[in-house]
Amino acid sequence: MMDACTVLIVGGGGREHALGWKFAQDPRVQKVWFAPGNAGTSRVGTNLPIAASDLEGIVGWAAREKPGLVVVGPEAPLCAGLADRLRQVGVRVFGPGAKGAQLEGSKSFCKELLVAQKIPTARAGSFTEKSRALIFLESLSCPVVVKADGLAAGKGVVIAESHAEAKKAIEEMMEGRVFGEAGARVLVEEFLVGEELSLHAVTDGTRWVLLPSAQDHKRVGEGDTGLNTGGMGAYAPAPRATAKLLQEVEETILRPTLEGLRAKGIDYRGVLYAGLMLTKEGPKVLEYNCRFGDPETEVLLPLLDSPLWDLLVAAADGDLSKLSIQMGKGAAMTVVLAAPGYPAEPTFGQRIELGGEMKDTAIFHAGTKEGKGGVEVSGGRVLAATGWGADLATAREQAYAAVGQIRFSGQHFRRDIGHRALGKVVS
């Protein structure tokens, strides 16, 4: 059964829908399951009543059904050791074990690895005592970045404009536990100035395949204003990511990162997702994630001409050496439609009108479920409308045309996705 082209995708967001959508295009792939999936994933596979956090349920199901591949979407199950447990029962899995997932699960682990490997990154200190954190804080000029060490659903980062604001953030994390145990340890870090870039490398632990560069839009409002979110849109490739820059990143960042992990005895098979800042001194690592990004996955997969199965299986099996991967020459963009009140206090339950299908577009579901009257809103980020074409301008036209087909009460989205590359606003 192991060699059967069947896939279990763990998770229920836009990233997981995009992964299933790509797998379903491969005629060799016989079956795609999702645990738990959403209203959109049920169109390309079968949803299982198993939560992504239910490690026992996932391992038990996989041990019985023996899918040819398990792809773990979210970071929390990886950090909890899901990939390790699946491998223990003889199931092929794409995703690092718990030790490798510390790259995302512990900002201190990540920073220590970067410093040890002399990888360019921001100056920072890691602290479990508030008094020591406050002393180090005084050595930095503002703005200052304060980070909860552990997983905080993408919300454990505060950019403080003053020392007083940074002190408050430290106290709220370490004493007030606003992010729970994730804030028992904090990183106090210098603020890097520049343009952000997302780079995804699919790796077998030694070799890697670099996917197109992407740029996310984290702030809820146009012009990069308002609260941080899980991501309001993305595009790929990013014009700033020249061939020379990418080569520099591979040699000064990706290669020494994998060498450092191997030196720790960590066999890292999965996605090495680097969040970079392009500073005047060159690219520096802001953070690492141990899984595909969301919404970046929604723009990367339409640009992948080769079968996703071949790429992820080769990485999971530990040998990318014989693989030849083809990337498309065009561009893609995705625009996230969010629930009213997102990200602070989103409200759910609204019925969604999706409109008809359009050429060179895809609507990836994130926070949706099947209700009595049809598809309903069930999460803060509801849908990701993706378009692609020969260039970024065409991709933007397609993406926003797809947005125009969607209706639900209180929906909101940014009209300036891609503004750094193309200019301000879509009317």
- The string of pLDDT tens digits covering residues 66-119 is 999 999 999 999 999 999 999 999 999 999 999 999 999 999 999 999 999 999
| Residues 316-327, mean pLDDT to the nearest whole number | 93
Whether the CB-CB separation of 188 and 136 falls below 8 Å is answered with: yes
User: Which pLDDT belongs to residue 366?
Assistant: 98
Whether the CB-CB separation of 316 and 323 falls below 8 Å is answered with: no
Q: Band the pLDDT of 1: cuts 50, 70, 90.
A: very low
**Pair 269, 309 in one domain:** yes
Range scoring the smallest mean pLDDT among 1-10, 241-250, 295-304: 1-10
Last residue of a domain, one of 184, 211, 226: 184
| Residues 18-46, mean pLDDT to the nearest whole number | 97
CA distances from 267 to 45, 205, 207 (A): 31, 5, 12
User: Which pLDDT belongs to residue 21?
Assistant: 98
**Pair 386, 316 in one domain:** yes
**Pair 167, 296 in one domain:** no
Beta pairing class for 69-72 and 93-94: parallel
Which residue type is seen at 409?
A: S
User: Which pLDDT belongs to residue 2?
Assistant: 52
**Pair 259, 217 in one domain:** yes
251 within domain boundaries: yes
Using DSSP, state whether 163 is helix, strand or coil.
helix
- Structure-derived torsion over alpha carbons of residues 261, 265, 266, 267, reported in degrees to the nearest 10: 110
Instruction: State the CATH number of the domain containing residue 346.
Output: 3.30.470.20
Instruction: State the CATH number of the domain containing residue 50.
Output: 3.40.50.20
In this model, does residue 396 exceed pLDDT 60?
A: yes
- Total Cβ atoms within 10 A of residue 165: 16
Q: Does the N-terminal peptide bond of residue 143 adopt cis geometry, omega within 30 degrees of 0?
A: yes
Q: Band the pLDDT of 150: cuts 50, 70, 90.
A: confident
In this model, does residue 23 exceed pLDDT 80?
A: yes
Instruction: State how many domains the chain has.
Output: 3
What is the percentage of the chain residues whose pLDDT exceeds 70? 98
**Pair 161, 87 in one domain:** no
In this model, does residue 425 exceed pLDDT 70?
A: no
Last residue of a domain, one of 143, 159, 184: 184
**Pair 47, 137 in one domain:** no
What is the distance between the alpha carbons of residues 402 and 381, in angstroms, rounded to a whole number? Answer: 16
Residue 168 parent element (H or E):
helix 163-174
In this model, does residue 154 exceed pLDDT 80?
A: no
- pTM, two decimal places: 0.94
What is the distance between the alpha carbons of residues 266 and 334, in angstroms, rounded to a whole number? Answer: 34
Of 344, 340, 339, 345, which Cα lies nearest the Cα of 368? 339
**Pair 243, 389 in one domain:** yes
User: pLDDT, tens digit, for every residue of 233-276?
Assistant: 999 999 999 999 999 999 999 999 999 999 999 999 999 999 99
Instruction: State the CATH number of the domain containing residue 133.
Output: 3.30.1490.20
User: pLDDT, tens digit, for every residue of 266-284?
Assistant: 999 999 999 999 999 999 9
67 within domain boundaries: yes
User: pLDDT, tens digit, for every residue of 179-199?
Assistant: 888 889 999 999 999 999 999
- Total Cβ atoms within 10 A of residue 30: 11
**Pair 205, 317 in one domain:** yes
Last residue of a domain, one of 39, 73, 97: 97
Q: Is 200 left (phi over 0), alpha (psi -120 to 50) or beta?
A: beta
Q: What phi and psi, each to the nearest 5 degrees, are found at residue 199?
A: -130, 125
**Pair 83, 152 in one domain:** no
**Pair 254, 398 in one domain:** yes
121 within domain boundaries: no
412 within domain boundaries: yes
Whether the CB-CB separation of 68 and 145 falls below 8 Å is answered with: no
**Pair 260, 340 in one domain:** yes
| Residues 46-65, mean pLDDT to the nearest whole number | 98
| Residues 211-223, mean pLDDT to the nearest whole number | 94
What is the percentage of the chain residues whose pLDDT exceeds 90? 87
The residue range of the domain holding 245 is 195-422
Q: State the average pLDDT for the chain.
A: 94
| Residues 30-45, mean pLDDT to the nearest whole number | 97
Close Cβ partners of 261 (under 8 Å, ≥ 6 residues apart): 100, 103, 113, 205, 268
What is the distance between the alpha carbons of residues 418 and 18, in angstroms, rounded to a whole number? Answer: 20
